[in-house]
Structure 1
Amino acid sequence: GGEASSTATYNTKLNAEIHLAITAEPAEYASSLCDNLFILYRDVKYRSFVLQFLPSFITTYYDVLHRHPESTDVTTKSVLDDAHHEKIHGFRIPNLTSPSIYHTPNSVSLSVDCGKDN
């Protein structure tokens, strides 16, 4: 179990090949790769392995959005629960003018003001 996880995490050739498969064009096997990474992600042992590819997916997604805005439906993937039913998550985009658990609006403006004085 743990041996396979560490092997996958530290295999630099495998990691480089997966990054290349995500970012290279054409991505004829991108859907299959995504499906396999989603399966791995469900196993807690492999989450950090899968998460290392998130920046590559985000970069590729924005690149496709920029070059082919009409094809966003092709690159959008549904999140499925364990029974393979679509799972919907609500989220909100952070607003720096509203307080959150990470900051208060006053402290943010204070740090910006301090930066201008230097």
Structure 2
Amino acid sequence: MSLRDTMQSSFGALFDTAFAEVMADFTGTYLGPGIYDPVTEETTAQTVTYTGRGVLTRYKLEQIDNVNILSTDSLLIVLTNEVTDLPSAGHKITAKDPITGALKTFDLLPVKIDPAKVHYQLQLRAV
């Protein structure tokens, strides 16, 4: 078993036990390929939907610079093997707010991945 597989298995177990209370299921959406007609301003692109789960949290105070990271931004930490598609900047993410329990929609900003490709760090900005 590779280091990556071992880490994903370990983190997956933590998601199921220690972090179970703060886990958030999410749905990501984006427009797939299609043809845009500039005259009618319509497209043939269809919405692509993917799912996953992760830990939804706020950024640490020292990370907030109010330029790249706003005080209202959220951070979603997701295992790469638990997402059904590749998250990318510009996608919409819908997740349940861990505090209020209400569904919220976010714009997905830059996506970071660790060197071992075990998890994504998704920067979310409320719409």
Higher RCO structure (Cα 8 Å, ≥6 apart): 2
Q: Of the two, which has the highest radius of gyration? A: 1
Q: Which has the higher strand share?
A: 2
Same fold flag (TM > 0.5): no
Identify, as 1 or 2, the structure richer in helix.
Answer: 1
Give TM-score, length-normalised by structure 2. 0.27
